[in-house]
Structure 1
Amino acid sequence: MVESDPRRSIPRTDSLLSLPEVIAAGENLSYATIKSIIAEAQSAARAGEITVAEVAPTIISRLGSSSASSLTPVLNATGILVHTNLGRAPLSPAAQQAVLDASGYVDVEMDLVTGKRSKRGTGAKAALLRACPAAGDALVVNNGAAALLLAVTALRGRGSAAGSTVGTDLAAASDPAVVSSAVSPTEIIVSRGELIEIGAGFRLTDLMTTTGARLHEVGTTNRTHLTDYANAVGPRTASLLKVHTSNFRVEGFTSSVQVSELRGLADDHSLPLIVDLGSGLFTHDEALPDEPDIDAALRAGADVVIVSGDKLLGGPQAGLILGRREAVQRIATHPLARAMRTDKLTLAALEATITHTGNPVHDALHIDLDELRRRTETLAEAVGATVVPHDGRVGGGGAPGVPLPGWAVELPEDCAAALRTGDPTIVTRVHQGRCLVDLRCVPASEDDRIAAAIARVLAANG
């Protein structure tokens, strides 16, 4: 006699939905979520991954541990401050509180005194202008790529024939009658050495050409001169663009053109000068002496400067556009600006990040090295491991190649996966057959949890 397939006895969905624990979970989880968890357990039983007897307990366990989001909080023990795969900049306590406060109804577009509609993001803009007095105006959009796309689309000078000084100012260039009287300005002049590709194969060149613009590349990979830009200016020139090569460095026989030099050329031909800095420093930071900052770029003559909010600024994902008032206003009033505007949670977090002192990225960049070494040695002693020198990095397209000296606890390589899938979830660096635990970006309050997790992993590995 052929034995009956035990999978035929997998509990039916309606019977599983009637379990008391499942009914109780319905107070917090949606019906669709619960049904999905049930279906996954039933499928696992059919595939032989769990037994029929384990179906109900598996469902109950998953319902008990299920959260509103599939995102898992992690402890960043890689030594990389702005880790793109881990969400870039972690928000400061003040920014987290601001997001919580803004999660309900807030006066994002209402004047509470008059009861009438007001402009969105006035608080965040005011904070930006206080932090960067060189800027005449500011605009916040949803990310850095959006800010660049919007800027090169909205800011288009008329351009002029090479060698001519005939042109228009920014205000006149927005007049359709003026623009129609000249050849359509579609060329963006940019150095070949600044045509960058960022994460996941995303290229800024592809982004800009979606606007209908044509990139006029000048110079070479390693050397570009002011005359290269000047010789490229013609009737179709729309703007001059300078991009900070924030995720790589070219060393040796190199030459590039400074913003102040480009300002003179832009004035000669009434062209907008757009500078994309990416990483988001307001002012010079001695810890990163070669990293350009917004204030310096504006004072050197940029019409607008573009940066990301979630890099060295240490805030939420956002694209920040700061610069001359008339230039920013042209960008803000462009139809695309409405499609790229940011939400109340981002505005709240950004304002709090700027107005309050300190945030996790800043703290990790300027960490007390004596204290970091003490913490690292204490952790190593607690788990019976070794301390080794380890250089952290800014990451996220900031200060490429600049080491942040420090230390790490050295563990066997196979510890990395176990720590990454454990509780708490700890992401470490795997390098040259070693698992390295760097505490630079880890709050000191988490050191004991990390020690306990490492001890469990080492014990399990024998």
Structure 2
Amino acid sequence: MSAVGLPHRIHLPSVDGVLRWPAIEALVAAHGRAVVLGAVRDELAARRLAGEVGADIDIAAGIAGRALAIMAPSLQKVFNLTGTVLHTNLGRAPLPPEAIEAIVKVASGATNLEFDLATGKRGDRDDHVESWLCRLTGAEAATVVNNNAAAVLLTLNTLAPRREVIVSRGELVEIGGAFRLPDIMVRAGCKLREVGTTNRTHLADYREAIGPRTALLLKAHASNYRVEGFTAAVPEAQLASLAKENTLPFVVDLGSGTLTDLVRFGLPHEPTPAETLAHGADLVTFSGDKLLGGPQAGVIVGHADLVARIKKNPMKRAMRCDKLTIAALDAVLRLYADPDRLAQRVPVIRLLTRHPDAIAASAQRVVSLVAKWLGARAVVDTIPVQSQIGSGSLPIDLLPSMALRIVPQGGKRASGRALDGIAAAFRALPVPVIGRIAEGAFLLDLRCLEDEQEFRALFTGEASR
């Protein structure tokens, strides 16, 4: 006899009858009648279509599985072992504890998001981050929108509607998801004026293109690609002087953006907004969730009069950040007040500067555990690999790392289906593990594995979703 009814049924029970089973009543108490009712109907319909009946306990288990699947959150934590630190598909920069705490603090109730506590009047949500952005970049003013593409779009729509924007042909970048700078310019209502060639653009090219319909000069930093060999590009300071001669704004899209010189951490140099403004740029745009290490945001810094015009654009409201983003960004910006401790306090910088010996030691500690979990399905060892920074940041610079190499039984002759099966097995863990397939193996690059204890628990049966 089953725990919830007859040991086996000849006919399927009714929906109302199933809803009175104790196990199903418990599901209703946990998840609500509407969800469970849908699960009951779907389970019975599936069994009817398949010509299956089964025991009551099996039917109840099927219903429970459907209800839990409906209620399971779609967005969940994963282990990023792809070898790409700033992985766009996996959420880019992990936030520091200070930012998470700030989000929690403002999420549960009312805040002074747009309320001036000193005067008791309406305030500006940008006020919570503007002073820090100005302090860290040397800008006169700043504003924030929901990502850097929005920052570029809003800037162009404000300063160059129905007019020409001069850009080097070699800087007409495409960012993730096939979003291209020329397309953004069309949506911004301005006209692209290309100058130079793919690999070489000179100051004279810009000078000759300036005319009565020119609105501004735009430079897009090559943050997600690099052209090498027979190349020429005009330095920012020269473009700034040319723009000033013609009373035009000079705007620089840094793309990734970092608020500190990464060379101090042994990483390649990436231009900072402060450097770009010092070279004479009037406005600089950059991302918040890449090398800066904060939440998704697009930052615009520069001359006060231009920022004021941008903030008055009606599109600004459609692109504004919510209180959670502002709280997180404010918390991360404050960490930059102490640059000597950034490598410990900002996760992105900590992951990028992680010593290869530490990664190798971690690999040695977990390799046998993963091998035991896989059993006869695959052979597991460790190999040196190269991590990449990702999200269009320092595109050709690689970082030495160590990976678990997982080869399905069959060695080099292992099929793609076998590799896909291994990858799927890791994605099905209570906390999904995301790696990459390369050279006939499934690789788990351990550069971003900081919580080794939680990772180990996945293979010992101690983890739960």
Does the pair score TM above 0.5?
Answer: yes
| CA pair 52-371 structure 1, distance change in 2 beyond 3 A | same
Match of 1:305 in 2: 284
Q: Cα–Cα, structure 1 residues 127 and 46, in superposed 2: closer, same or farther, change >3 Å?
A: farther
* 2:238 corresponds to which of 253, 258, 261: 261
Instruction: Provide TM-score, normalisation by structure 1.
Output: 0.84
1:143 aligned residue: 147
Q: Which moved more, 1:390-399 or 1:45-54?
A: 45-54
Aligned to 1:181: none
Cα distance 1:60–1:191, how it changes in 2: closer, same or farther (>3 A)?
A: same
CA root-mean-square deviation? 2.6
1:441 aligns with 2:448: yes
Q: Does 1:397 align with 2:395?
A: no
Counterpart Cα distance in 1 of 2:40 and 2:233: 60
Do structure 1's residue 359 and structure 2's residue 326 form an aligned pair? no
Shift of 1:288: 3.8
The C-alpha deviation readout for 1:153-182, integer Å capped at 9, x for no partner, is 1124xxxxxxxxxxxxxxxxxxxxxxxxxx
- From the two aligned structures, give the one with the greater helix fraction: 2
Offset at residue 202 of structure 1 (A): 1.6
Q: Secondary structure at the match of 1:392?
A: strand
Instruction: Give the aligned partner of residue 115 of structure 1.
Output: 120
Partner residue, 1:236: 213
Q: Secondary structure at the match of 2:201?
A: coil
Structure 2 match to 1:248: 225
The equivalences for 1:352-431 within 5 A come to 352-356=331-335, 357=342, 358-384=345-371, 385-412=380-407, 413=419, 414-431=421-438
- Determine if contact 1:240/1:271 at 8 Å carries over to the other structure: yes
Deviation at 1:83, TM superposition (A): 0.6
Equivalent residues of 2:28, 2:36 under 8 A apart? yes
Gaps of 5+ in 1: 1-5, 157-183, 457-462
User: Deviation of residue 436 (structure 1)?
Assistant: 1.1
The Cα shift of 1:115 comes to 3.5
Q: Alignment partner of 1:89: what SS? A: coil
Q: Partners of 2:68 and 2:103 in 1: how far apart?
A: 26
Take 1:121 and 1:30, find their aligned partners in 2: how far apart are those partners?
41
Distance of 1:193 and 1:46 partners within structure 2:
62
Aligned residues: 421
Alpha-carbon spacing, 1:338–1:296, altered in 2? closer, same or farther (3 Å): same
CA distance in 1: counterparts of 2:81 and 2:357, whole angstroms:
18
- Compared CA separation, residues 304 and 9, structure 1 to 2 (3 A): farther
- Correspondences of 1:35-114 after superposition (within 5 Å): 35-48=37-50, 53=55, 54-64=58-68, 67=71, 69-104=73-108, 105-114=110-119
Q: 1:380–1:124: structure 2 CA closer, same or farther, 3 Å change rule?
A: same
The structure whose residues are more often strand, as a share, is 2
Which residue in the other structure is 2:338 paired with?
Answer: none
User: Structure 1 pair 72/51, CA: closer, same or farther in 2 (3 Å)?
Assistant: farther
- For the Cα contact (< 8 Å) 1:84–1:396, is it kept in 2? yes
The offset of 1:59, in angstroms, is 2.3
Matches within 5 A, 1:270-309: 270-286=247-263, 287-309=266-288
- How far 1:138 sits from its partner (Å)? 0.9
In the TM superposition, residue 434 of structure 1 has moved relative to its aligned partner by 0.8
In structure 2, relative to structure 1, the CA distance for the partners of 1:381 and 1:24 (3 Å cut) is closer
In structure 1, distance between residues paired with 2:406 and 2:245: 60
SS in 2 for 1:403: strand
Note the C-alpha offset of 1:185.
5.5
Percent of residue pairs bearing the same amino acid type: 42
Instruction: Find the aligned partners of 1:269 and 1:442 in 2 and give their Cα distance.
Output: 52
Amino acid at match of 1:238: A
Once residues 191 and 268 of structure 2 are traced to their aligned partners in structure 1, the CA distance between those partners, rounded to angstroms, is: 34
Q: Is the 8 A contact 1:278 1:307 kept in 2?
A: yes
Amino acid in structure 1 at the alignment position of 2:384:
P
Deviation at 1:252, TM superposition (A): 0.9
What is the TM-score normalised by the length of structure 2? 0.83
Q: Does the 8 Å contact 1:415/1:435 carry over to 2?
A: yes
How many Å separate the matches in 1 of 2:301 and 2:14? 60
User: What stretches of structure 2 of length at least 5 have no aligned partner?
Assistant: 1-7, 336-341, 372-379, 408-418
SS state at 1:252 partner = coil
Aligned pair in 2 of structure 1 residues 23, 293: CA closer, same or farther (>3 Å)? farther
> Which amino acid in structure 2 is aligned with residue 362 of structure 1?
I
Moved more, 423-432 or 410-419: 410-419
Q: In the aligned structure 1, how far is the partner of 2:200 from the partner of 2:218?
A: 16
